Amino acid sequence: MPSIALSLINITKRFGPKAILDGLNLGLFQNEKVGLIGRNGAGKSTLFRLLAGEEAPDSGEVVVTQGLRVARLSQEPRFAPGATVRSALEDALEDHRDLLARHQAIHDRLAEAGAAELARLHQELAEVEHRLDHLGWDLEPRLKAGAATWELADLDAPVEALSGGWRKRVALAQAWLRNPDVLVLDEPTNHLDPDQVERLEAWLQDFQGALLLITHDRHLLDAVVTRMLELEEGTLRSYEGGYSDYLLEKADRAFREARLTEHLQNRLRREMAWLRRGAKARTRKSKLRIQEVLDLKDAVEDRTRVDLRQDLAFAVGGTRSDALLRAEGLRFAYPGGAELVGGLDLWLQRGMRLALLGPNGCGKSTLLSLLLGERLPTGGELVRHPKLAVAAISQGRGELDGARSILDNLADRASVVNVAGSTVLAHVYLTRFGFPVDQQARLAETLSGGERNRLLLAKAMLSPVDLLVLDEPTNDLDIPTLQNLEEALLAFPGTLLVVSHDRFFLDQVATHTLAWNPAGPPCWELYQGPPSTVRALRAERASQAALPTQEPARRLREAAPRPRKPGLTQKEQRRLAEVEAEMEGIQARLADLDARLADPAAFLRPDSPGHRALEERAAAAAALEPLEAEWFTLEARRTSD
């Protein structure tokens, strides 16, 4: 049986009267890979700080087996003031440097050692040389290997000037260089682009030591860990296998516990009926039975506590059109900079859930701001439906006013909000998103990342929208909230544009992927399917493009200049008005048919009117499509005049 690498023994940690960790025990075996999950506020970060030695437990003990090397990576890595990438990596080689110094010190001592000490020095020298044969006799090759592994090209760059993604790479390179026996990582995928997440995943899969991985990245958990731990109410519950195994075992355990709870409830009803019949408490036997009933009542209440679930739902806007936005030959470049968007053709239709996929710095957030109209393109055309309703949450969460309270950010001093056509007290609505009434006066600037994200989601759900634009919506959210958000987006009948580093999340919600391709002239490519399918689809597309029969036509298309569209003639202006009138008529017809189809009685019998209404709706939608295409063409020519 493998030996223990790291132990937590009866750990308790309190903040005020509340115990965040309560008598917690954990044993991490050598060569074991364990994933740790839990709701925000459950104590995961507190547990990490205890393991990192940044805090001490109120009681209990943290034990690392003597002689094992430990590397820890926090959510927001910290570096020495004024550190460069090189000096930060050199700090990670301190053990290696000490080993080289020890080797030199032993050699210096050998010349003066007496016979009694000589044997011990030779034995120690052999051990040091054995380790140096493994690590290397020079620091520079290891340092360069660490930099190359994590693609850190500029070793002289100040760490404090780097973005969050690059700082995380430096911290990962430090952990890699320490060659640890025990590795403890807290949210290591935050700020990393997809390529770097894949690199991290490959390293952790090959890692031969003991790993404790604290993360919300469900894809990474499934790919790496062999045991799951869930931190809940200060204690840990263990599940064998990866994240998918955890879901299955937890569902099975919940079913068994529900059956047991039902059994206890039935027994309690019988016992309470006995008490109400006037049970006598005079005998010792009766007194014991009454106490058993009271204990049973407490047990049932504990098992049936309500777990408040965030009911997330986005309201759809009133635009009935299936065509919302069209970009043709869209281009953008910052003054004096490289072109971030080059000749993009994109047609956003109702019901599309489009994921933007690409490395940090490729222009995902810039592209979103172009489509939202926050930036003007430097070339090409962009046409939006005139009644398009949009809601957006940016990566920086700048939509919040830090100087205003949580409640005022949501309702702007109003006491009520409109939720799905119903009036709800604003402070009651906020409690659904984990903001207790007594905390709603807090300033937004005091909120954590997860709290800011939840407040923006609560605000976005108040306005009916056709297009929902989310930039890194999963940052700082716990897994239960992520699952609720996924369900809300899958139920949203409008259109979604989303940027996220969470691969599991994107594969759950996306129907299409707009992926950055750095090969050849860098460009954005549209694929039907979630991000996990892009690699295979790109290879298939490349093989088809290589066919000789297709190559000349492709070259002709690329070389053909785009003609400039003139403004509308009077005849075309009349046609544009006719098209808009026809579209409004068909959209009204579609709304009427949708209302009829929503009635369950419409399909009770084979001859029920719902079947005919389905055929009529399909015909109306087919008639609307060419009109929308014509409208886009005419509208683009009108606006270019």
First to last CA, the chain: 78
Nearest to 496, CA basis, from 611, 504, 505: 505
Together in a domain, 158 and 237: yes
pLDDT band at residue 598 using 50, 70 and 90 as cut-offs: low
Together in a domain, 168 and 211: yes
Q: What is the mean pLDDT of residues 14-23?
A: 84
Q: What is the mean pLDDT of residues 394-410?
A: 84
Burial class (CB in 10 A: 0-12, 13-18, 19+), 559: exposed
Q: Which residues lie below 8 Å from residue 557, measured CB to CB, with a gap of 6+?
A: none
Position 551 pLDDT exceeds 60: no
Q: How far is CA 520 from CA 247, 513, 551, in A?
A: 42, 20, 16
CA dihedral 225, 230, 234, 236 (to 10 degrees): -70
Residue whose pair of structure tokens reads 């994200």 in the numeric block:
453
Say if 119 falls within a structural domain: no
Pairwise CA distance, residues 412 & 403, whole Å:
13
Residue-wise pLDDT for 72-114, tens only, equals 998 888 899 999 999 999 998 888 888 888 888 888 788 777 7
Q: Which residues lie below 8 Å from residue 614, measured CB to CB, with a gap of 6+?
A: 597
At residue 603, the pLDDT reads 58
Q: What is the mean pLDDT of residues 12-18?
A: 83
Q: Poorest-confidence range of 198-207, 268-277, 561-570? A: 561-570
Q: What is the CATH number of the domain that holds 599?
A: 1.10.287
How large a percentage of the chain has pLDDT more than 90? 21
Eight-state DSSP code of residue 186: E
Residue 597 in tokens: 């189809």
Residue-wise pLDDT for 30-85, tens only, equals 999 999 998 877 888 888 888 888 889 999 999 988 888 899 998 888 899 999 99
Pairwise CA distance, residues 634 & 630, whole Å:
6
Which DSSP helix (H) or strand (E) runs through 56? none
Together in a domain, 372 and 278: no
Together in a domain, 263 and 228: no
Parallel, antiparallel, or unpaired for β 235-240 and 227-232? Answer: antiparallel
Of 197, 217, 246, the one marking the end of a domain is 246
Residue 249 in tokens: 């075992």
Q: What is the mean pLDDT of residues 347-375?
A: 87
Note the helical H segments in 527-569: 534-545, 551-559
Residue 89 in tokens: 């990596």
Together in a domain, 222 and 366: no
Q: Which residues lie below 8 Å from residue 424, measured CB to CB, with a gap of 6+?
A: 416, 417, 418
Of 303, 336, 371, the one marking the end of a domain is 303
DSSP string covering 432-448, please? TTT--GGGTTSBGGG--
Biggest CA–CA distance in the chain, Å, is 109
Say if 142 falls within a structural domain: no
At residue 302, the pLDDT reads 65
Pairwise CA distance, residues 283 & 280, whole Å:
7
Position 264 pLDDT exceeds 80: no
CA dihedral 347, 349, 352, 354 (to 10 degrees): 30
Say if 136 falls within a structural domain: no
C-alpha angle 550/349/527, rounded to 5°? 40
Q: What is the mean pLDDT of residues 506-524?
A: 88
Pairwise CA distance, residues 627 & 292, whole Å:
74
Q: Which residues lie below 8 Å from residue 369, measured CB to CB, with a gap of 6+?
A: 375
Residue-wise pLDDT for 408-450, tens only, equals 988 887 888 887 677 888 888 888 887 888 889 889 888 877 7
Together in a domain, 173 and 267: no
Question: Structural domain tally of the chain?
Answer: 4
Pairwise CA distance, residues 505 & 484, whole Å:
11
At residue 134, the pLDDT reads 75
Residue 235 in tokens: 């204690």
Say if 158 falls within a structural domain: yes
What does the chain come to in residues? 641
At residue 565, the pLDDT reads 45
Contact 30, 181 (CB under 8 A): yes
Together in a domain, 220 and 330: no
Together in a domain, 394 and 536: yes
**Is the pLDDT higher at 522 or at 144?**
144
CA dihedral 161, 164, 170, 175 (to 10 degrees): 150
Say if 45 falls within a structural domain: yes
How is the chain split among helix, strand and coil, in percent rounded to 5?
Answer: 45, 20, 30
CA dihedral 276, 282, 285, 286 (to 10 degrees): 10
Cross-strand bridge partners of residue 331: 379
Say if 30 falls within a structural domain: yes
**Is the pLDDT higher at 373 or at 554?**
373
C-alpha angle 370/485/194, rounded to 5°? 60
pLDDT band at residue 558 using 50, 70 and 90 as cut-offs: very low
Pairwise CA distance, residues 593 & 615, whole Å:
10
Together in a domain, 477 and 548: yes
Strongest mean pLDDT among 147-156, 295-304, 544-553:
147-156
Residue whose pair of structure tokens reads 């050849």 in the numeric block:
520
Contact 495, 466 (CB under 8 A): yes
Residue-wise pLDDT for 308-335, tens only, equals 445 677 888 777 777 888 999 999 988 8
Together in a domain, 242 and 255: no
Q: Which amino acid is at 477?
A: L
Eight-state DSSP code of residue 314: P
Together in a domain, 211 and 276: no
Q: Which domain holds residue 273?
A: 247-303
Residue 1 in tokens: 């049986």
Residue whose pair of structure tokens reads 């007290």 in the numeric block:
425
Pairwise CA distance, residues 99 & 129, whole Å:
9
Say if 116 falls within a structural domain: no
Pairwise CA distance, residues 241 & 250, whole Å:
12
At residue 303, the pLDDT reads 58
Radius of gyration (C-alpha) of the chain in whole angstroms? 31
Of 246, 275, 291, the one marking the end of a domain is 246
3-state secondary structure of 20: strand
3-state secondary structure of 515: strand
Position 564 pLDDT exceeds 50: no
Position 548 pLDDT exceeds 80: no
Strand order in the sheet with 339-349: 339-349, 323-333, 379-384
Say if 182 falls within a structural domain: yes
Nearest to 442, CA basis, from 427, 424, 458: 427
How far is C-alpha 89 from the geometric centre of its chain's CA atoms?
Answer: 28
Pairwise CA distance, residues 349 & 169, whole Å:
37
pLDDT band at residue 169 using 50, 70 and 90 as cut-offs: very high
At residue 562, the pLDDT reads 44
How large a percentage of the chain has pLDDT more than 70? 86
Which DSSP helix (H) or strand (E) runs through 232? strand 227-232
How far is C-alpha 288 from the geometric centre of its chain's CA atoms?
Answer: 53
Together in a domain, 555 and 621: no
**Is the pLDDT higher at 300 or at 237?**
237
Contact 494, 467 (CB under 8 A): yes
Pairwise CA distance, residues 398 & 472, whole Å:
13
3-state secondary structure of 392: strand
Contact 367, 358 (CB under 8 A): no
Number of other residues whose CB lies within 10 A of the CB of residue 617: 17
Residue 567 in tokens: 């403004």
Q: What is the CATH number of the domain that holds 553?
A: 3.40.50.300
82 φ/ψ angles, rounded to the nearest 5 degrees: 75, 10
